[in-house]
Amino acid sequence: EAGVVQSPRYKIIEKKQPVAFWCNPISGHNTPYWYLQNLGQGPELLIRYENEEAVDDSQLPKDRFSAERLKGVDSTLKIQPAELGDSAVYLCASSLTWGGKNEQFFGPGTRLTVL
Amino acid sequence: GESVGLHLPTLSVQEGDNSIINCAYSNSASDYFIWYKQESGKGPQFIIDIRSNMDKRQGQRVTVLLNKTVKHLSLQIAATQPGDSAVYFCAENMRYNTDKLIFGTGTRLQVFP
């Protein structure tokens, strides 16, 4: 079974440019997440969905970041405009809830460099 | 290859030795804890988890210990192998929000021959 797929794997843009990341969760999982990971730190949740509804986006900088759940499967994360401080790895995860617990599976991430 | 972090706490062990990675968590209300392994250029990978009603759980070559009194979690890796080299994160799950993981800083494990 394929894991979480993310693209692109790397993106280099100039500041003030827009950028978009795409995520395809594991088939059958209904809860995609977007995390941000700065160098030397653990992932931090940006937004998570349950089906098509965003249920926790408290850490998402809504003035420049937006996320979408596409047709109940794929998800995109967009930054417009990008700032220098947005350089980081953006991780997508999807989850399967079983036995009363929630196990999250992570994709490889997109490394964003803003120049 | 790429580096997840350049200034992480680092544990260096010899191949075949046992490794112990420690983590202090912040919220006494957390009731579910997970250890993740992150190799260079990859996303975190689930290793083992434990609920707060347990103080020890064993997997294949790995053991997680939970001390709720001092809010401390540890991951023990038996007979450490070169493939164990990675950054290890503990994550806590808040009782009132079962899907939100709070990750710790991470520890880099280096295995030398």
Residues 6+ apart with CB under 8 A from B92: B25, B26, B27, B30, B32, B33, B101, B102, B104
Range of the domain at A16: 5-114
Check A41 against B93: CB less than 8 A apart. no
**pLDDT (mean) for A46-57:** 83
Angle at A96 between CA B23 and CA B108, to 5 degrees: 25
pLDDT at B7 over 70: no
Range of the domain at B11: 1-35+67-78
Average pLDDT, chain A: 89
Position B27 in a domain:
yes
Which band of pLDDT confidence, cut at 50, 70 and 90, is reported for residue A49?
A: confident
Which residue among B3, B41, B101 sits closest to A108, beta carbon to beta carbon? B41
Position B18 in a domain:
yes
Q: How many separate domains does chain A show?
A: 1
B89 and A CB contact within 8 Å: yes
CA-wise closest residue to B32 among B83, B73, B76, B4: B73
The one-letter code for the residue type at A38 is N
Position B15 in a domain:
yes
Interface of B with A in 61-80 (CB under 8 A): none
Q: How many CB pairs under 8 A join A and B?
A: 65
